[in-house]
Amino acid sequence: MGSGTYSTTSRLSRSEHLGYTTKSSQEIFTSRSINSAMNPHGVTVRESRDSIEHPNSVAIIIGLDVTGSMGSVPHFLVKNGLPTMMDAIIKKGIPDPQVLFMGIGDHECDQAPLQVGQFESSDELLDKWLTDLWLEGRGGGNDGESYMLPWYFAAKHTITDCFEKRRQKGFLFTIGDEPVLPSVPDYFLRGLMGSGNGQYETYESFKLFSMASEKYNVYHIHIKETASGSRQEVVGGWKQLIHDHLIVVERREDVASIIADTVCGGNEVKIIPSESIKISKPGVVAEEMML
């Protein structure tokens, strides 16, 4: 995967044809169950590879909370956030980004707590995987979502040439408004991934964050504008878990520019805005949030 190029002109034309800027979320995201191609069961690996077309690939994973009100974030991305993000990344000096979309739910109560696309570069294929997400819209009353599942999948089931060849970490963003559930049991992972993927164990979330961080710059983007997102204890819990890899945003519309700025800023970027986003250029360190 990862062939083709991102053309904003092509994307704009297709957006107008398909009505991305005018259609509702329900009209764009039409899946009523998990797309079989995004089911992680039986998946051994997802690959981000170099090619003649893309000799310096950079792997970027974007995990989107598809529960409850967070379904508005994928809708925003498909309307205009994704082309804005890709255009900024490419123009700021990363010509070969390869993006993989994931859907995140709640492994304690949802039917599809993890959905996994492919690493892609072209505007058409990125739109395909994004709009193939099932916005399950559930989540439970258990004070958390399974944001650790993309960490698990990235650590155990991805291979990236940017890391294997150049020791350059990729980027992994999870986006949501809830705490992360504290752990995921071995029996659940076996059911999710399939018995053919080797031995399983129970993992604490902090351990999975550490494992994913070996080959990715891992960030969580916390959306404050929902009822859950505005709770100070949620923000505090995230900061205690992942420290300066927490990015707090006031509005979901900031997500695309934040991802682009973080990717283009490189490994040094550490962003924790307090009451508003204070990023003027890539790599600038924002004010530390006061708890």
What's the pLDDT at 248?
A: 96
207-235: per-residue pLDDT in tens?
A: 999 999 999 999 999 999 988 899 999 99
Nearest to 88 by CA among 260, 271, 284: 260
**Euclidean distance between CA atoms 197 and 181, whole angstroms:** 23
pLDDT the model gives residue 139: 73
Residue range 52-67: mean pLDDT, rounded = 96
Q: How confident is the model at residue 1 (pLDDT cuts 50, 70, 90)?
A: low
Average pLDDT over residues 193-201: 91
* Whether the predicted pLDDT of 166 surpasses 70: yes
- CA distance to 162, 174, 214, 242, per residue, from 70 (Å): 31, 12, 28, 21
Which superfamily is assigned to 8-268 in CATH?
von Willebrand factor, type A domain (3.40.50.410)
Mean pLDDT of 48-52: 96
Does the pLDDT of residue 54 top 70, yes or no?
yes
Is residue 135's pLDDT more than 90?
yes
Closest CA to 128 of 155, 148, 154, 100: 100
pLDDT computed for residue 266 by the predictor: 53
pLDDT tier, 89 (very low <50, low <70, confident <90, very high otherwise): very high
Q: What is the mean pLDDT of the chain?
A: 89
Mean pLDDT on 143-164: 97
pLDDT of residue 271: 34
The rounded distance, in Å, linking the Cα atoms of 42 and 45 is 9
pLDDT-derived band at 137 (thresholds 50, 70, 90) equals confident
pLDDT of residue 142: 83
Q: Is 92 a residue whose pLDDT tops 80?
A: yes
- The pLDDT, as a whole number, for residue 136 is 94
Q: What percent of the chain has pLDDT over 70?
A: 90
Share of the chain above pLDDT 90, in %: 83
pLDDT of 96: 97
pTM, entire model: 0.90
Beta strands in the chain (DSSP E): 46-48, 58-65, 97-104, 114-116, 158-160, 170-176, 183-184, 203-204, 216-223, 246-249
Residue 152's pLDDT band (boundaries 50, 70, 90)? Answer: very high
With beta carbons less than 8 A apart as the criterion, state whether 160 and 215 touch: yes
The per-residue pLDDT for 15 is 93
Q: Is the pLDDT of residue 275 over 50?
A: no
The domain segmentation of the chain, as residue ranges, is 8-268
